[in-house]
Amino acid sequence: GIQVEQSPPDLILQEGANSTLRCNFSDSVNNLQWFHQNPWGQLINLFYIPSGTKQNGRLSATTVATERYSLLYISSSQTTDSGVYFCAASTQGGSEKLVFGKGTKLTVNP
Amino acid sequence: GAVVSQHPSRVICKSGTSVKIECRSLDFQATTMFWYRQFPKQSLMLMATSNEGSKATYEQGVEKDKFLINHASLTLSTLTVTSAHPEDSSFYICSARDRDRGRVEQFFGPGTRLTVL
């Protein structure tokens, strides 16, 4: 099945800094989603982005499907951005099963 | 839109009892729902895919007789952990795909934290 790898595993920033999180996947995808898991465990949908570029406020994401990677950009980070960011993907012709990466734990210090 | 709820949010039970967790899509119809499990400081692992009106499909290594899944309507799927043991303690999360959105994006519930004593 598809493999999903995220980097870096941990990231510590000062408030106001920018960051880039990366997600590599091993197969063609029909779904790629980015999530933020808050301290209570809730997965917040950030982007549905199997290809292309999207922006939502301080966050943006780009997926280059032909090169099998996706990037999540966080600009002007805030302490509330802290948490774990997951990338998950499913393959074309598959059964819509999402495979999750191991996540990037982001800590934003004041 | 695309809100998924879970109930209960937290449950503590004694070893040997059964626990039922409900997953509801509140503002959309979901022909397919998914159940995941997450252990502390780990990622989410898919347990099973639940299709309305048919039997669930379980991932390799997940015991279908232990984790009973019922998807009786387009807005409700239930996961029953039968004869729970301490090793079943985990965070259980469901997700659903909006049938009418025309894409495979999944929306996740807030999760249920199960503690088996």
At B22, the amino acid letter reads E
Cβ–Cβ of B49/A30 closer than 8 Å?
Answer: no
Testing the interface with A: which of B49, B59, B94, B105 to mutate, by most A Cβ within 10 A? B105
What does the DSSP 8-state code read for residue B31? S
- Block means of pLDDT (10 residues each) for chain A, 110 residues, are 96 97 95 94 94 97 97 97 96 81 96
Specify the pLDDT at position A94: 61
Specify the pLDDT at position A96: 78
- Block means of pLDDT (10 residues each) for chain B, 117 residues, are 92 97 93 93 94 89 95 92 96 90 87 97
Cβ–Cβ of B103/A40 closer than 8 Å?
Answer: no
Specify the pLDDT at position B98: 82
> Residue A69: phi, psi to the nearest 5?
-150, 160
Structure tokens at A17: 């800094």
Specify the pLDDT at position B5: 96
Specify the pLDDT at position A93: 67
A42-72 pLDDT, tens digit each: 999 999 999 999 999 999 999 999 999 999 9
B47 by Cβ neighbours in 10 Å (0-12 / 13-18 / 19+) ranks as buried
Specify the pLDDT at position B102: 73
Chain A residues close to B110, C-beta within 8 Å: 40-42
Specify the pLDDT at position A73: 98
- For chains A and B, CB pairs below 8 A equal 55
Specify the pLDDT at position A14: 97
Question: Are A34 and A49 spatial neighbours (Cβ–Cβ below 8 Å)?
Answer: yes
* Residue in B with minimal Cα distance to A96: B104
Question: Are B7 and B22 spatial neighbours (Cβ–Cβ below 8 Å)?
Answer: yes
Which residues fall within 8 angstroms of residue B85, CB to CB, at 6 or more apart? B15, B16, B116
Cβ–Cβ of B108/A35 closer than 8 Å?
Answer: yes
Nearest chain B CA: its distance from A40 CA (Å): 8
Cβ–Cβ of A30/B108 closer than 8 Å?
Answer: no
